[in-house]
Amino acid sequence: MTPVDAGSEAEKSGIASACSGIDAARKAQVPESRVHSSLNLHLRRLSPLVLGLSVVLMFVSGCANQDVVAERADCASQDPAGEDAARFLAGLRGRPDGCFASLERTPTWQAYAGQLDRAWSELEQHQIQPVRDFQKRELSAIPSNSSFLFYPFSGPDVLYPRLFFPNCRLVVMVGLEPVGSLHVLYSYREANIESALRGWSQSLSSLFRRRFFVTGEMNREFRGRVADGLLPMILLLLVRSGHRIDRMVYGQLSPSGKFVAEGDPAPGAEKLPDAGVEIEFHQESEATTRTLYYFSTDLAKGFGQDPRFARFLRRLGPSDTLIKSASFLPHWSMCDAVRDFILQNSNLILQDDTGVTFRQLKALNWDVQLFGKYSHPDRPFQREYQPDLAKAFHVKANVHQLDFSLGYGAGRRQSSLMLAQRTAATLPPK
């Protein structure tokens, strides 16, 4: 019998004796003071045993926690680019000797992988392939002099930048949600895997059903409920869409706007302003290395008040810009600085109606091509309806076909897109 067992038996015996003494006293109508005196005597005898048991349990618990931390660190060192973790979450088998190999043999993960296979196959048929067809028909012939793709208000959506701009070698995504880490993934065990994968299934449902990630859901799910940030979902979408992760590094922006690499953030570390991650990846069918940055920063007042992120973007040169499901933030005065930056530095803007207003694009002499069908925004954005955009969509000769649903209202009504291109006559924002 171990010391923990001995302490437990003694504790049980003493408590039982004390309780039986109270019952006997009550039956014999012994004065209450004598009962309390007897109880105190038993408790004093128990104190050393309870204290000893507590010390042993604390020691065992501390050792167990140290073992978990060591296992996490070992897994992270074996998976520096996060590829094993990403493939596990994406329902794709990783390395046979990887940290997730044993979990991939469980019925729970295999059921999750099968469910994800079916959902992705449907997304491929009804969404991904139509977007590819649109890109080939409407975008592929447009010459690009841009150095990178800027995707503000992106959340973790790396899927659509790769679909709309497949030849782009550098993508910069940004949102309010934290970068996060892969720490929690390396602590998955068979005992907790069912609830963990259920959480990931729920997180992916927005992409499958709505074609975008809901801000409120991201705030709940990627701030502790499922993960501590967006990095795991970004990696998941990359590998699920046919990419391999070559390298991943965390970093901060220097005062001059340079990305400075740093170490893996500790679990529960405070989010620093302009925390970012740099991911190098390649398509499975090619050798070209591409780079993606995700930054967690404020694009409203913060963009104008803290110049580091704007300096980082300017270092990269002119951009193409993608805006979708952006909560109509570019319509609002609090986003004047980032909107003006987009209008000053973009050669091309592909957006839905939540991006730069149609009125402002036309006033600055951008060449705008319309796609799909425009309709009233849903609640709570009804006030963002654009009558001049609706009027332009009524001229059928101006509108090209859109064979997929995207952004707010996806799956419930037709969607619209605008492709704005800079011309020699385009004016700077006022």
Residue 43, H or E segment? helix 32-78
**Would you give the end-to-end CA distance of the chain in angstroms?**
81
Mean pLDDT of 132-161: 95
Rounded-to-integer distance, Cα 334 and Cα 330, Å: 8
Q: Does a cis peptide bond (omega within 30 degrees of 0) precede residue 380?
A: yes
3-state class (DSSP) for residue 367 = strand
Rounded-to-integer distance, Cα 218 and Cα 206, Å: 10
Q: State the DSSP code for 264.
A: P
Where do the H-state alpha helices sit in 289-380? Answer: 301-305, 308-316, 336-345, 358-363
- Measure CA 312 to chain center: 22
Rounded-to-integer distance, Cα 54 and Cα 10, Å: 14
Residue type present at position 197:
L
How many CB atoms are closer than 10 A to CB 136?
A: 11
pLDDT: which is higher, 230 or 44: 230
- Which tokens in the block code for residue 251? 């970093």
Nearest residue to 198 via CA among 94, 261, 117, 108: 108
Give the pLDDT of residue 201: 86
- Structure confidence at residue 215 as a pLDDT band (50, 70, 90): low
Contact residues for 88 (Cβ-Cβ < 8 A; gap 6+): 94, 100, 103, 104, 109, 185
List the Cα angle 57/59/64 in 5-degree steps.
95
Give the pLDDT of residue 61: 46
Tens of pLDDT along 76-90?
Answer: 677 878 999 999 999
Residue 280, H or E segment? strand 275-283
The rounded percent of the chain whose pLDDT value lies above 70 is 76
The burial class, CB within 10 Å (0-12 / 13-18 / 19+), for 367 is middle
Tens of pLDDT along 356-390?
Answer: 999 999 999 999 999 999 999 988 999 999 999 99
Residue type present at position 402:
L
Rounded-to-integer distance, Cα 352 and Cα 350, Å: 7
Contact residues for 139 (Cβ-Cβ < 8 A; gap 6+): 164, 165, 350, 419
pLDDT at 217 over 70: no
* CA 384, 388, 392, 394 torsion-angle sign: positive
Give the pLDDT of residue 351: 98
Give the pLDDT of residue 338: 96
The answer to whether 169 and 221 are in contact (CB under 8 A) is no
Give the pLDDT of residue 54: 53
- Structure confidence at residue 11 as a pLDDT band (50, 70, 90): very low
Tens of pLDDT along 291-310?
Answer: 999 999 999 988 988 899 99
pLDDT at 160 over 70: yes
pLDDT at 336 over 80: yes
How many CB atoms are closer than 10 A to CB 162?
A: 23
- Structure confidence at residue 200 as a pLDDT band (50, 70, 90): confident
Contact residues for 230 (Cβ-Cβ < 8 A; gap 6+): 155, 156, 175, 177, 178, 179, 180, 218, 222, 294, 296
Cα 259 to Cα 88, 249, 263, 358: the distances in Å are 29, 10, 13, 34
Tens of pLDDT along 103-133?
Answer: 999 999 999 999 999 999 999 999 999 999 9
Tens of pLDDT along 17-66?
Answer: 434 443 444 444 445 445 455 545 554 555 555 555 555 455 544 544 44
